Amino acid sequence: MDVILDFISERYMTLMILLGLASVIYANRKSKIDKLNIIVIMMMISLVIVVCEFTEDWCDKYNKDYRILYVKTMLVYWMYPLMALLGIYLTVHIKNKLLLAVPQFVNMVITAVDLTGTGFVYSFSQDHSFHGGPMRGMQFFVICFYSVLFAYYSVRYIRSENKARGLIMQFIIVMIIVTIWAEYMNFASGYADEVVALSLFVYYCYLATVHQSKVDAALHKRELELEQSKLTLLMTQIKPHFINNSLIAVRELCYEDPEKAAELINHFSLYLRNNIEAADNQMIPFTKEIDAVKEYLNLEYADTSKAFKTVFELGYTDFELPSLSVEPLVENAVKHGVDRYSEKSEVRIISYKQGDNVFIEIRDNGKGFDMNKETLGKGGIGLKNAAKRLELMCGGELNIDRDDGWTVIRIRICDKN
């Protein structure tokens, strides 16, 4: 118990910084922060270094077997250069990662050989005194190599458009250099572990800030796309040609059947209202969308020469979807799919549920069509516009296919009920 208390007491600040960083990472665990796995590995290495540094004090204080110091020193000679290498992996996009790791690999091999007592890099006497070998500067030179490379890339980032990353890297370099200088001048000793942990914390905060900026940019882009979709929907859905034909039909009925004309005007006003309200890009009940489909069909059937059939097979209706997701697709099927003046022509609107997904199908038995500008929305909302709104507003999907003589537009929506 005394050993644990001594460990916590001597390495208190380093442990608190690492614990704080671990808490922040856990709190943001659902965020997909870039290279978070490297930060976690570096935290674990920092903890190993802290334990190793305490082990030396523990061996001296309790006069433990000097051979423990061989293992401790090997790990320290491994961990510090490895931290420098991972620091480059973390901050710089490197293609030849294995090639960059060669100096560290050589350092690890030579340092590990000293466990056999060769004394190439280090050795210990039974009284725990340290003796440097002819290659005792191996760790220092590897760290310097990675530090120079780190500084080089930081300058490159500052000169490029990514100045923020370069400035953070420069700050970390300055912290490490000042710490080494202070250690050498006996101005402030024993803070290397704290500075390493603090560097990790600072860079994680930078990555989290960058991640949040990307999320905010994506949300802003999505809002702009929705706004653009709203304007496109309002401008393109209310088609002058269709409105003109509807008004001509109303005018003719005014002379022949005033009551029928009044009914048609009612359908026309509801059709216009549905189109205008849809510009708000709201989620609406599926039943309300079906009402919009029926208002459109009432206007089509105002021309009594049109003989195509419409069939509703609504097996599931208790869900919501973006406004005008189905009605424009029915228009596509009627105008570009079937022969509206043939009794053999048929358009089917089908809805059903499978598992957690709701499916809506708009089928027509016309000759089919290609995914060209006309069918993709030059004269209406278009399949591309509908697919984009479904994706942005509810994570839905829209696909088109041919099935046994039928053109099938299929919408999939995840049911939240």
Residue 362: CATH number of its domain = 3.30.565.10
What pLDDT shows up at residue 324? 78
Say if residue 169 is in the same domain as residue 285: no
Beta-carbon contacts of residue 278 (< 8 Å; ≥ 6 apart): 233, 234, 237, 323, 324
What pLDDT shows up at residue 80? 87
String of b and e for 34-50 (b: at least 16 CB within 10 Å)?
eebebbeebbebbbebb
Say if residue 186 is in the same domain as residue 242: no
Say if residue 158 is in the same domain as residue 273: no
First to last CA, the chain: 54
Point out which residues pair with 130 in neighbouring strands. 124
What pLDDT shows up at residue 265? 81
Using a cut of 0.85, tell me whether the model's pTM lies above it.
Answer: no
Q: Which residue has the tokens 């089928």?
A: 363
Domain count, the chain: 2
Is 14 inside a domain boundary?
yes
What pLDDT shows up at residue 230? 62
Say if residue 305 is in the same domain as residue 187: no
Say if residue 186 is in the same domain as residue 284: no
Say if residue 162 is in the same domain as residue 106: yes
Residue ranges in the chain modelled with pLDDT below 70: 1, 183-184, 186, 188-190, 226-246, 248-249, 252, 255, 274-281, 368-382, 416-417
Is 227 inside a domain boundary?
no
Amino acid identity, position 288: K
What pLDDT shows up at residue 360? 96
Could you list the residue range(s) of the whole structural domain that residue 346 is in? 238-414
Is 223 inside a domain boundary?
no
Number of alpha helices (DSSP H) and beta strands (DSSP E) in the chain? 14, 9
Nearest to 91 by CA among 180, 187, 171, 190: 171
Say if residue 157 is in the same domain as residue 301: no
What pLDDT shows up at residue 379? 39
What pLDDT shows up at residue 1? 62
Q: Where are the alpha helices (DSSP H) in 28-162?
A: 36-62, 67-91, 97-100, 102-113, 138-159
Say if residue 271 is in the same domain as residue 171: no
d(CA 248, CA 325): 27
Is 127 inside a domain boundary?
yes
Say if residue 258 is in the same domain as residue 386: yes
Residue 60's CB is within 10 A of a number of other CB atoms, namely 13
Q: What is the pLDDT of residues 304-348, one digit of tens each?
A: 888 999 999 999 999 999 887 888 889 888 888 899 899 999 999
Answer yes or no: are the C-beta atoms of 26 and 18 closer than 8 Å. no
What pLDDT shows up at residue 412? 94
d(CA 223, CA 57): 59
Answer yes or no: are the C-beta atoms of 79 and 102 closer than 8 Å. no
Say if residue 37 is in the same domain as residue 152: yes
DSSP for 261-308, please give it.
HHHHHHHHHHHHHHHHHGGG--EEEHHHHHHHHHHHHHHHTTSTT---
Is 229 inside a domain boundary?
no
Is 30 inside a domain boundary?
yes
Residues in the chain: 417
Say if residue 292 is in the same domain as residue 381: yes
Answer yes or no: are the C-beta atoms of 229 and 237 closer than 8 Å. no
Q: Which residue has the tokens 């644990």?
A: 4
What pLDDT shows up at residue 382? 60
Is 75 inside a domain boundary?
yes
d(CA 366, CA 403): 12
d(CA 42, CA 48): 10
What pLDDT shows up at residue 386? 76
What pLDDT shows up at residue 373? 43
Is 228 inside a domain boundary?
no
Say if residue 96 is in the same domain as residue 205: yes
d(CA 356, CA 417): 9
Domain-terminating residue out of 187, 218, 249? 218
What pLDDT shows up at residue 239? 57
